[in-house]
Structures are given as structure tokens and as C-alpha cells.
Amino acid sequence: MTFGAAWRDRFRFEAGIAYLNHGSFGAVPRVVLDAVAGWRERMEVEPVRHFSREVPVALAQARTALAARLNADPDGIGFVENATAGANAVLASIEWRPGDTVVTTSHVYNAVRNAIRHWAGRAGATLVEADVPFPSGGEDEIVAVVEAALTPRTRLLLVDHIASSTALVFPIGRLIALARARGIPILVDGAHGPGMVDVDLRAIGADWYVGNCHKWLFGPRGSAFVYAAPEHRASLHPPVISHGYGQGLTREFDWVGTRDMTPWLALPTALDFSAEIGPQRIAAHNRALLAEAVALIERRWGTQAGVAPSQRGFMAAIQMPRTGAATPERAIAMHDHLFDHYGIEVPVFAFGGALWARISAQIYNELDDYRRLADATWPAS
């Protein structure tokens, strides 16, 4: 099975774009879009039958299918629209006390940083960001930096499974063990986890894990989940309280008012899509392609990726040649330049005083996509 350009037709990409940003919003296979369309049709032809009879059954089936993929107990999985909503649910459900701290890292996703500020801040709890160096010095360094930030006042440790801009895969097994040894609850922000790295929710032992299906699991946008360990299920609520209040995690999350449920209902089709190809085969392709692409770009640009291959999943941030100030504004200008002049869709971030291009590798990509980026030039600012 040869991936690459031959697989682009399974998706609905516009012609001519080197699409190197699966990470931000995923890409949905046609077969999954068809499943969504099928469910939308069911919703429209008889809305009452859809919401009162079809949805409860199909949602339970979708949850069972997702739980099997994540090796989780379905009763611990609540469907949410996105990882941000899942993180908000956890943060809103914790009983904060004045003087508590939430420890996270300098790689935290900004929306989640804001959610911590909002929910914990309301009760007088504060945010502490452990400064995890980037380029990364490796797992031991990360664990040591996070450990140094923990104190008896730490009420929650929140770590990314894979960080957004730096694409660093955090050693969550070690970080969970660290938190558990100190009796500190831990929330893993796995927005990029499922589909990119093995996620075994029974084995990893986090208190809560939030994950997107619409990034690396080929799910429709708006399909995500929050998982809670058994001891936290009764106290985890969606930020929107509705009919299911007090009736258990799944009932509370299944109904937060009338909304389009089709992204979750189409999840089994997305899971079948990757199962038929084989998650191991997808991973092997994406990792090998990423390694080749990074080496090619590093050679052309004379710079380096921020993390060693052992700390990468299907994404890597590569430092851009210095052509001006490393500001967020310059990052946007560089992105727009690459898109407008070369048809390259790649995110550019300012981090730690440098600009980084974060490339993604997915089954529809091939080395030519990255050659375009390697050969691009840009004006000095």
C-alpha cells in the first residue's frame, strides 16, 4: 500500500496545496464525511425519532468503539466538541481553594492556559508554568523541571501529551508516576494524542485525559472526549448542566441541550477507516516520512528540529533561518508568505526567541510536499 499523493483523493483537498498542517484541524476522509451526511439526513427526516431513539443507541455504540480503541471503560468517557471543552469541564469540576496552584509547563496550549486562569483563578488559585527548555534536552530534563515546580500547595498537574507549537511528546508515563507519588491529581491534555501515539487509558493511570478525535483519528470536527478515572466520575460535570445532572458521567455529557450529534455518531466510521489501514502501518509511514522530511529541511535551511526523533510523533518543529525578529506578527507574515507564494500550508510559531515551522506527516503526504518548503525563500523583514 503506497501512501502519499495516491491517498489525497480519499480526502477533499483543494488541488495544488502542500498540506503540511494536519495537526491544527485534522483532515476528514470522504467516507467519514459521507457518514456524517448520512446521520444529518436521519436527523432532518424525523428529528424526534433521531434525538429520542437513534441518538442514545448510536452514541453508546460510538462510545464503546472509541473506548475499545483507547482501552478505556466506556463509563469513563464523556463526549465533548473539542479538547478545550474537555479541559474546561475538568477545571470547572475541581473544588479550588485559595492558595492552590496549578502546575503546567511553558508549552501549554494558550486556550487551556486561559481556562486554568479562569476556573482556578476565580477561587484564588494560581498558575505556575514550569519552564521546559526548547530545543528539548530530553525526558530527564522535562521530569526534573516539572518536579521542581510541584509543592504541597499543588492541587493539579496539567501536562500536554504532545505540545501544540513545539510538537514535543511529553513523557507522560513518568509525569503521571511523579504526580501519583506526590498525591497530586493529573490532567493530561491529549488534544493530539489519540491516533498519533498509543493511548491506553487503563494503563497510563491519569486522573483525567482529554483527547480529540478530529485531529489524528480521522474523526469529524467536533468529535472529542474527556475521560475520568473511576474515583472522579461522579464529580466531573460538563460546564453546561442539563437533564442528565447527577445521573452519571455519560448521561451528563450525552445531553447538554439540543445540538448536532453527528460528529460522534460518525466516529465508528472514522475508527474503521484507520483500523482497515492499520494504525501501526499509518504510524510507520508517518514517522518514516517525518524523519526524511526533517532531515531534508534541516539540510537546506542549515537549522535543526527542536526535539530528537525519540520525542517526536507525527509532527516536528524546525527552526527557521533567521530573517528578522521572532515575533508572533512575523510568524503570521511567514505563514502567509509560504501560502501565498508557494501554496504551502504550514504553521509558523514564535517560541523561545526563534521562529519554528511545525510540519505534520499524514498518509496523504509525500516527500515532494516538504521539498517545496525546503526550497522556499523569504524576504528579510
Ligand X SMILES: Cc1ncc(COP(=O)(O)O)c(C=O)c1O
Contact positions toward ligand X, by CB under 6 A? 24, 82-84, 109, 111-112, 160, 163-164, 189, 191-192, 212
**Residue whose CB is less far from ligand X, 160 or 254:** 160
Q: Which of 381, 369, 377, 352 is nearest to 107 (CA)?
A: 352
Q: Measured from the CB of residue 140, what is the shortest distance to ligand X in angstroms?
A: 22
Q: Measured from the CB of residue 356, what is the shortest distance to ligand X in angstroms?
A: 14
DSSP type of residue 234: T
Q: Measured from the CB of residue 225, what is the shortest distance to ligand X in angstroms?
A: 11
**Residue whose CB is less far from ligand X, 146 or 376:** 146
Q: With contact defined as beta carbons under 8 Å apart, do 149 and 178 qualify?
A: no
**Residue whose CB is less far from ligand X, 159 or 334:** 159
Q: Where are the alpha helices (DSSP H) in the chain?
A: 22-25, 30-45, 47-49, 55-70, 83-93, 110-121, 139-149, 172-182, 201-204, 249-254, 262-265, 267-277, 279-301, 328-342, 367-375
Identify the three-state secondary structure at position 126: strand
**Residue whose CB is less far from ligand X, 49 or 118:** 118
Contacts of 149-154 with C-beta under 8 Å, sequence gap 24+, read 149/103, 150/103, 150/178, 150/179, 150/182, 150/184, 151/101, 153/99, 153/100, 153/101, 154/100, 154/101, 154/102, 154/103, 154/128, 154/182, 154/184
**Residue whose CB is less far from ligand X, 18 or 163:** 163
Q: With contact defined as beta carbons under 8 Å apart, do 291 and 337 qualify?
A: no
**Residue whose CB is less far from ligand X, 160 or 207:** 160
Angle at 261 between CA 247 and CA 35, to 5 degrees: 135
Q: Is 251 exposed, middle or buried (0-12, 13-18, 19+ CB in 10 A)?
A: middle
**Residue whose CB is less far from ligand X, 155 or 192:** 192
Cell of 86: 474537555
Q: Measured from the CB of residue 89, what is the shortest distance to ligand X in angstroms?
A: 12
**Residue whose CB is less far from ligand X, 80 or 376:** 80
**Residue whose CB is less far from ligand X, 82 or 154:** 82
Q: Measured from the CB of residue 80, what is the shortest distance to ligand X in angstroms?
A: 9
Q: Measured from the CB of residue 46, what is the shortest distance to ligand X in angstroms?
A: 31
Q: What is the DSSP string of 167-227?
A: --B--HHHHHHHHHHHT--EEEEETT-BTTB---HHHH--SEEEEESTTTS-PPTT-EEEE
Q: Measured from the CB of residue 85, what is the shortest distance to ligand X in angstroms?
A: 7
Residue 254 CA to residue 234 CA, distance in Å, equals 15
**Residue whose CB is less far from ligand X, 170 or 255:** 170
Q: Measured from the CB of residue 83, what is the shortest distance to ligand X in angstroms?
A: 4
Angle at 205 between CA 362 and CA 88, to 5 degrees: 70
Q: Measured from the CB of residue 74, what is the shortest distance to ligand X in angstroms?
A: 21
Q: Which of 187, 59, 223, 19 is nearest to 112 (CA)?
A: 187
Q: Measured from the CB of residue 108, what is the shortest distance to ligand X in angstroms?
A: 7
